[in-house]
Amino acid sequence: MNFLLYENMDFLEINADLHIHSKYARGVSNKMEIPVLAKQAKLKGVQLLGTGDCLHNKWLSHLKENLKGEGIYGYNGCETKFVLQTEVQTFDRVHHVILLPSFSKADELREKLLKYSNNLDADGRPHLSIGGEEISEFVFECEGLFGPAHAFTPYFGVYAHYNSLKECYGKYSNKISFLELGLSADSHLADKISELHRLTFLSNSDAHSPYPLRLAREFNRMKIKEFTFEELKKVMLQKDLRKVILNCGFYPEHGKYHLSRCKNCLMFYKLEDAKKLNWKCGNCGGTINKGVKDRILELSDCDGNPERPKYIHIYPLTEIIATAYNIKTLYSESVSEIWEKFIKQFGNEIRVLIDVEIEKLEKIDKKVAEYIDAFRQDKIRQIPGGGGIYGKLLPLGKKPKIEFFKYRQKSLSEY
Ligand SMILES: [Zn+2]
Ligand SMILES: [Zn+2]
């Protein structure tokens, strides 16, 4: 089966996930190694995968041992190709994604950064003592690509700490070509900020385990001519018809910081009410965590961007199967049996989620096909996430019932 989705005028359409972590990053599965990744990426349907953690000495050696090529690397004749990628944290706790064109540039960047970290190898995602302007300068000197990671998440997103890209990246803000949306935002939300309209939006998984449940749970479909770093650069710069043509990922409501919510008693808040209460819970006195949606509303200066590629909200097939059959554990045998049937028939998961006609999916499993159809038509609803708790998918036809804190103006006598 040919994995390329479309070949016309020599263009290839590929699925890419450009942000993952290695087994050397905190909280990551020790199965995160290239041979496992290559196998699982094929089952998922990913043709281009970020390596994660490419500045970490042990992981860099593992990559050099396993990957062959130049710019975009192959492993042992496998379908999935790799690009050198890492995530770093700057002094202000902001996370950034870096893509590099070669092992020699990775060595070069490592060398430059050694003096800005107590220990560059303490974690796959190194902590640096410099800020956004300095790190972007170093990456551009190494001919890499650079942009904010999960830009809107509280704690580690650029917009959690700054009101504009310029505030964080200074004179290099105009050279940044992409922004990673993260699990709590989609193009529709992010395009409410007009300074982002020129950027390529990436929907990546930030996966901590190599299996199709996590790998490419968000992914990008892009148009390139061949597997080279130059082509990837053109995609990010939207040059010569190379570009991202589709973003796929979670409903933003699923993210654990989507709505503003008390971290203690989990009460939901509307932005105006949380502000009036100075972000202290009116129910229990706890801290209200500002949700991604409200943060974007605060920064919003326009309605949207009609030029943006389509965004399809979709979940991993395992999760869809479990929801369709109301099975509580994702790792149950009955879930994997159905998953395997689909993969055996259609080759990979992304094809099942996005490309294969519903009538064909119905022949494998009617119920699951009905859910996939509902995702494709954007008919899925859920209980939104917030306060550090993920959102929850609802069965078809169900609407979420959530209550927001009711703010009452206190009468004078109460003071
Ligand atoms: Zn991060
Ligand atoms: Zn509370």
H or E, element range at 59: helix 57-66
- 321 and 246 inside one domain: no
Considering every ligand atom, which ligand is closest to the CA of 269? 2
At 403 the pLDDT is: 87
Per cent of the chain over pLDDT 90 is: 87
Considering every ligand atom, which ligand is closest to the CA of 182? 1
- 39 and 175 inside one domain: yes
Domain end (from 205, 221, 253):
253
Residue 210: closest CA among 343, 23, 399, 84 = 23
DSSP E strands: which ranges in 65-214? Answer: 68-70, 72-74, 81-89, 95-100, 145-148, 178-180, 200-202
Task: Return the structure tokens found at 29.
Answer: 């599965």
- 217 and 345 inside one domain: no
- 22 and 170 inside one domain: yes
Q: Is residue 133 part of a domain?
A: yes
Write down the residue that tokens 């930030």 correspond to.
206
Q: How far is the CA of 190 from the centre of ligand 2 (A)?
A: 28
For residues 323-334, b (16+ Cβ closer than 10 Å) or e, as one string? Answer: bbeebeeeeeee
Report how many helices (DSSP H) and strands (DSSP E) the chain contains, helices first. Answer: 15, 18
- 198 and 334 inside one domain: no
CA–CA separation, 266 and 256 (whole Å): 12
CA–CA separation, 379 and 159 (whole Å): 30
Domain end (from 253, 270, 298):
253
Residues lower than pLDDT 70 in the chain: 1-9, 408-415
Q: Is residue 220 part of a domain?
A: yes
243-249/260-262 β-pairing:
unpaired
For residues 83-112, b (16+ Cβ closer than 10 Å) or e, as one string? Answer: bbbbbbbbeeebbbbbbbbbbebbebbbeb
Q: How far is the CA of 89 from the centre of ligand 1 (A)?
A: 8
CA–CA separation, 183 and 257 (whole Å): 9
Considering every ligand atom, which ligand is closest to the CA of 20? 1
Q: Is residue 172 part of a domain?
A: yes
At 1 the pLDDT is: 42
Q: How far is the CA of 125 from the centre of ligand 1 (A)?
A: 8
Q: Is residue 311 part of a domain?
A: no
Considering every ligand atom, which ligand is closest to the CA of 288? 2
- 215 and 110 inside one domain: yes
> What are the DSSP calls for 347-414, one per residue?
SSHHIIIIIS-HHHHHTT-HHHHHHHHHHHTT---EEPPBTTB--EE--TT------B----PPPGGG
Q: How far is the CA of 281 from the centre of ligand 2 (A)?
A: 5
CA–CA separation, 390 and 95 (whole Å): 21
CA–CA separation, 375 and 77 (whole Å): 34
Q: How far is the CA of 346 from the centre of ligand 1 (A)?
A: 33
- 211 and 354 inside one domain: no
DSSP E strands: which ranges in 57-167? Answer: 68-70, 72-74, 81-89, 95-100, 145-148
Look up the CATH number of the domain holding residue 225. 3.20.20.140
Q: Is residue 20 part of a domain?
A: yes
For residue range 102-123, list pLDDT tens digits in order.
Answer: 999 999 999 999 999 999 999 9
- Report whether 186 contacts 252 (CB < 8 A): yes
Q: How far is the CA of 44 from the centre of ligand 1 (A)?
A: 22
Domain with 367, as residue range(s), is 317-382
Considering every ligand atom, which ligand is closest to the CA of 280? 2
- 242 and 321 inside one domain: no
Rounded to 5°, the CA angle 288-293-296 comes to 110
Q: How many domains does the chain have?
A: 2
Q: How far is the CA of 356 from the centre of ligand 1 (A)?
A: 33
CA–CA separation, 173 and 158 (whole Å): 12
Q: How far is the CA of 8 from the centre of ligand 2 (A)?
A: 56
Q: Is residue 407 part of a domain?
A: no
For residue range 315-373, list pLDDT tens digits in order.
Answer: 999 999 999 999 988 889 999 999 999 999 999 999 999 999 999 999 999 999 999 99
Q: Is residue 307 part of a domain?
A: no
At 61 the pLDDT is: 97
At 248 the pLDDT is: 98
Q: Is residue 63 part of a domain?
A: yes
- 19 and 120 inside one domain: yes
Considering every ligand atom, which ligand is closest to the CA of 286? 2
Distances (CA, A) of 208 to 24, 31, 51, 85, 263: 10, 10, 12, 14, 24
Task: Return the structure tokens found at 208.
Answer: 């901590």
Considering every ligand atom, which ligand is closest to the CA of 52? 1
Q: How far is the CA of 62 from the centre of ligand 2 (A)?
A: 47
At 415 the pLDDT is: 39
Considering every ligand atom, which ligand is closest to the CA of 152? 1
> What are the DSSP calls for 294-362, one per residue?
HHHHHH--SS--TTSPEEEE---HHHHHHHHTT-S-TT-HHHHHHHHHHHHHHSSHHIIIIIS-HHHHH
Q: How far is the CA of 282 from the centre of ligand 2 (A)?
A: 7
145-148/95-100 β-pairing:
antiparallel
Domain end (from 228, 253, 278):
253
**Which residues are close to ligand 2, an ion, with C-beta < 5 A?**
262, 264-265, 267, 281, 283-284, 286
- Report whether 72 contacts 142 (CB < 8 A): no
H or E, element range at 16: strand 11-17
